[in-house]
Amino acid sequence: MALAETVQEHAIARNPADFAPVIDLNDLSVKFGRRPILQNLQGELRGRAIGLLGPNGAGKTTLIHTLLGFHLPSSGTAQIFGQDIRTDAKQIRSLVGYMPERDSYIAKMSAVHFVRLMAELSGLPSEAALERAHEALFYVGLGEARYRSLDTYSLGMKQLAKLAQAIVHGPRLIFLDEPTNGLDPPARQRMIRLVREIRDSGKANIVLSSHLLRDVEECCEEILILKEGRLAVYCNLEEERKSNRKFLLLETRGDQDKFAKAIGGLGCEYAITGDHRVKIVLQGGIEVRDLYRIASEYDVQIRRLSYKRDSLEDIFLKAMENGHGGL
């Protein structure tokens, strides 16, 4: 590779399409020995921030590791910015940054030395690497502590140092594996703010894997829920929120079965979700006053009425119940 080659040139030269999906999963499966870890994952991810959700052992970290080339797919493949993980692993790794879940650092090194070393390994010349290391550490909020040895850092500071090394070379895609693990609330807020800032800069896409639904909800536009190595749900959170705008939750007293059927007669979708709870999706032309009118006809009291949309928790729990499929 010529010295004059830049990351951008490199990426453009290799990109088969200008608007290739960030991640394209093509029937991706991974096995450890005979044990299947990921099974037939399929989908195109294009969001600026993609959330990876799933219970423990669902395969979130294995998916990230496979995309980074740490594990070979047993069948199928995946592409990142149009480059195949089987054949272009090294090119892909020049475009990505990775913040591992576990405590990872090089002992007996100051933060600035550590981040500089990581930048140089990514191909930055020594002087540029030093400059970017200072910038990255200031950016994540470790500017004042950058000459301290990493061994003396608190858990929160180590997480920030890991983030700094993941972004020091200015990657186009950043994998964040449980970035808020073990952080106290202020440190978590800081991490979330940084992730959102990077997302909003539009200069890098983010894949965030987390157990914490709130983290994903606050940062991500798209989510991928894995269950037992399979794709349980893939959805765009923004679209999901919009589509659920007319979702109503009613708390009632009286004969709610008849009431619900009457509403169904108006063409609205409904579901009885508890002893006194009815979920209704209003159709065009139907107003809330129509609900009160029907309630009065059937002598049903509406004690509480609230607009609601499916929260990420609802989506996640539904995915865990259904097993697989879309919403």
Partner 1 sequence: MAVYEHTYKQYLGKLTPEWSRFLVIPRHAFRDVFKSKLFTAFFIVCFVPLLIEAILIYLHHNVNALAILKVDVRELIPIDASFFQTFVNLQASFAFFVTLLVGPPLVARDLRNNALPLYLCRPFSRTEYVLGKMSVLLILLSAITWVPQLLLFLFQSYLEGASWFVENLSLASAIFIGSVVWILLLALLSQAVSALVKWRVIASGALLGVFFIPSVFGEVVNQLFQTRWGSVISLGALMKNVTAGLFGTFVQASTHYTNWDGRVGHEIIVNEPPLWASWFALFVVCCICLALLSRKVKAYEVVR
Order the strands of the 49-53 sheet from edge to edge.
Answer: 96-99, 173-177, 205-209, 49-53, 222-227, 230-236
Q: Which is nearer to partner 1, 73 or 171 (CB)?
A: 171
Between helix 155-167 and helix 185-201 the angle, nearest 10°, is 10
Least Å from the CB of residue 211 to partner 1: 19
Residue 311, φ and ψ in degrees, nearest 5: -80, 170
- Say how far apart CA 113 and CA 213 lie, in whole Å: 34
Planar angle of CA 12, 16, 22, nearest 5 degrees = 80
Least Å from the CB of residue 52 to partner 1: 16
* 271 counts as binding partner 1 under rule CB under 8 A: no
* 327 counts as binding partner 1 under rule CB under 8 A: no
Please tell me the count of residues contacting partner 1 according to CB under 8 A.
60
Lay out the site mask for partner 1 across 51-80 (x = CB under 8 A, - = otherwise). Answer: --------------x--x-xx---------
Least Å from the CB of residue 3 to partner 1: 6
* 292 counts as binding partner 1 under rule CB under 8 A: no
Footprint of partner 1 on 13-52 (CB under 8 A):
32-33, 35
Lay out the site mask for partner 1 across 128-167 (x = CB under 8 A, - = otherwise). Answer: x---x-xxx-xx---x---------------------x-x
Q: Widest CA span of the chain, in angstroms?
A: 81
Tell me, what amino acid is at 16?
Answer: P
- Say how far apart CA 192 and CA 206 lie, in whole Å: 12
- Burial grade of 111 (CB within 10 A; 0-12, 13-18, 19 or more): buried
SS3 state of residue 114? helix
Least Å from the CB of residue 5 to partner 1: 6
- Which parts of this chain interact with partner 1 (CB under 8 A)? 1-8, 10, 32-33, 35, 65, 68, 70-71, 90-91, 93-94, 96-98, 100, 102-109, 113, 117-118, 120-125, 128, 132, 134-136, 138-139, 143, 165, 167, 169-172, 197-198, 201, 203-204
